Amino acid sequence: KGRMRAQQAPNTSLYGFWFHWNRPPLDNPKVRRAIYLAIDRQEIVQTAVGGAGTIAGMFPPGFTETIEERRQLPGYRQIKDQDLAEAKKLLAEAGLSGGFKLIFNVDQSKVSRTEAELIAAQLKKLGIQVTLQSADRATFYAQLRDGNHDLSTIGSGLYFNEPETILDQFFALDNLRNPHDWQHPRITALMDLQGKEQNPAVRLEMFKEASRIFDQGESHYVPTFWTNAGGSLDYRLQNFKPPYHPHTIWKWEHVWFDPNAPLPK
């Protein structure tokens, strides 16, 4: 009856999957790029989260390019014919035109499981046979770090609206989301430079350069989409702002309950 109000914080969480990149066949950057190109991100958004997501790269939607510009890039454009043709060419150059098999480490959440099933179906177009191995969250993370799986579903949320948190989580060394220490010399340099740069315009150009490197599709991580955090609350709860991440709701001094608040129309 209108007493509960919907709240959303847009584009707070990144979904995607991770390569065990330092062993065959995924140690070949051409193979990683072929998979990166072949993924139909629009199908994943529509099916895994009912369209409640935005196709974007490593950084939040609209940060390094407009959403429309992102949708025109290889791997992100909706008509997949050209991407699939390029992917097949890359696999042929890698000597893998006959296909190969991969094992996919998947946690048991509905979104991750659905995403993995779609990725497996999409990679069949390249002759890649993917076997899903689903595990509880604790086992999943242990296998991500120590296991012999070729792929793992792994995403993250932003603690606050700052793209450096993506670099720290996915591209710092000796890190859960970079367990085999993939690195790129220019990305390493940019991570250091942007942390020292005080001019926002110059810093943005650094992130744009990093985004262009990630868009080559040769890193250990393939972004698929960004999605929202949301929930509902009683209209009498005042001054509540949806957080970027649940871990940031630690203090409530700025929130109060007003029993006399008027019911919103």
pLDDT value at residue 246: 67
- Tell me the per-residue pLDDT of 103-135, one tens digit each, with 9 for 90 and over: 999 999 999 999 999 999 999 999 999 999 999
pLDDT value at residue 242: 76
Work out the mean pLDDT of the chain and round it to a whole number.
93
Mean pLDDT of 218-222: 97
pTM of the model: 0.90
pLDDT value at residue 199: 98
The Cα–Cα gap between 225 and 89 comes to 25
pLDDT value at residue 147: 81
Share of the chain above pLDDT 70, in %: 98
| pLDDT value at 228 more than 70 | yes
- Tell me the per-residue pLDDT of 54-79, one tens digit each, with 9 for 90 and over: 999 999 999 999 999 999 999 999 99
Helix axes 185-196, 200-214, angle to 10 degrees: 160
pLDDT value at residue 264: 81
- CA-CA-CA-CA torsion sign (177, 183, 186, 191): positive
Question: Beta strands 237-238 and 221-234: pairing type?
Answer: unpaired
The Cα–Cα gap between 52 and 221 comes to 22
Q: Which of 174, 180, 156, 149 is nearest to 247 (CA)?
A: 156
